[in-house]
């Protein structure tokens, strides 16, 4: 089975669980992190915008 991959931007949007996973696996690749708080009346608890030092591939 062959998957197609695309080159993504170096910014990843992640919820808390995904952010912890990224931080544990790729701590040296993180350039900066910004927390985006939730909107009043909206769903969710906010998210993290993680800027990586390099671009990466994602499978489609």
Residue 3 pLDDT greater than 70, yes or no: no
The partner residues of 51 in beta bridges, in order of sequence, read: 11, 32
Number of domains in the chain: 1
The C-alpha torsion from 36 through 38 and 40 to 42, rounded to 10°, is 130
Residue 2 reports pLDDT greater than 70: no
Task: Decide if pLDDT at 53 tops 70.
Answer: yes
Q: Higher model confidence: residue 42 or residue 33?
A: 33
Measured in residues, the chain has a length of 60
Label residue 46 by pLDDT band (50, 70, 90).
very high
pLDDT for 38 beyond 80: yes
- Centre a 10 Å sphere on the Cβ of residue 12 and count the other Cβ atoms it contains: 19
* Mean of pLDDT values over 1-25: 84
- Contact by Cβ (8 Å): 58, 18: no
* Domain interval for residue 38: 5-59
């Amino acid at each position: 089975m062959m998957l197609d991959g695309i080159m993504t931007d170096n910014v990843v949007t992640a919820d808390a669980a995904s952010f912890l996973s990224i931080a544990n696996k790729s701590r040296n690749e993180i350039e900066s992190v910004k927390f985006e708080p939730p909107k009043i009346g909206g769903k969710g608890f906010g998210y993290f915008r993680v800027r990586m030092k390099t671009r990466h591939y994602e499978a489609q």
